[in-house]
């Protein structure tokens, strides 16, 4: 039985996630579990890309790499980003 649908199904839900100001979203550090707004992360820009570290444990939460044509966003150091549900 084919019990899944394709990624287009995510469009409606993720539109809510990526539309608001990301800095007000709450992130949870995957290493130490500290939660706080993205704006509270410690950000280092004197590097090949931008690196955001947890304000509590200094582990990397987010990396952003930009070329002329593309952006790569890694959020591997966050266990979640929490956004207000704007459909309610």
Partner 1 sequence: MSALTPGFRGHRRTESDRVPPGQYLVEDFPVLSAGPTPSVATDGWTFTVVNETGERTVWDWTEFNRLPHESPTVDIHCVTRWSKLDTSWRGVSVDTLLADVETAADFAVIHSFDGYTTNVPLQDILDGQAWVATGYDGSPLTAEHGGPARFLVPHLYFWKSAKWVSGITLHDEDEPGFWERAGYHDYGDPWLEQRYQSGW
# of chain residues touching partner 1 (CB under 8 A): 18
- Identify the residue whose tokens are 């931008």: 50
Residue of the chain from 18, 47, 87, 88 that contacts partner 1 (CB under 8 A): 47
- Is 56 a binding residue for partner 1 by CB under 8 A? The answer is no
Instruction: State the residue for tokens 């956004």.
Output: 83
Task: Looking at residues 25 to 44 of the shown chain, list those that interact with partner 1 (rule: CB under 8 A).
Answer: 44
Contact by Cβ (8 Å): 39, 55: no
DSSP strand pairing (71-74 vs 50-53): unpaired
Residue 38 structure tokens: 């993205």
Q: Which residues bind partner 1 (CB under 8 A)?
A: 44, 46-49, 51, 53, 58-60, 63, 65, 67, 69-70, 72, 74, 76
């Amino acid at each position: 039985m084919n019990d899944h649908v394709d990624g287009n199904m995510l469009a409606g839900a993720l539109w809510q996630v990526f539309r608001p100001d990301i800095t007000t979203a709450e992130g949870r550090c995957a290493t130490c579990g500290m939660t706080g707004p993205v704006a509270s992360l410690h950000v280092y820009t004197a590097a090949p890309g931008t690196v955001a570290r947890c304000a509590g444990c200094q582990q990397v939460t987010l990396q952003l790499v930009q070329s002329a044509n593309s952006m790569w966003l890694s959020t591997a150091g966050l266990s979640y980003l929490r956004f207000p549900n704007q459909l309610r």
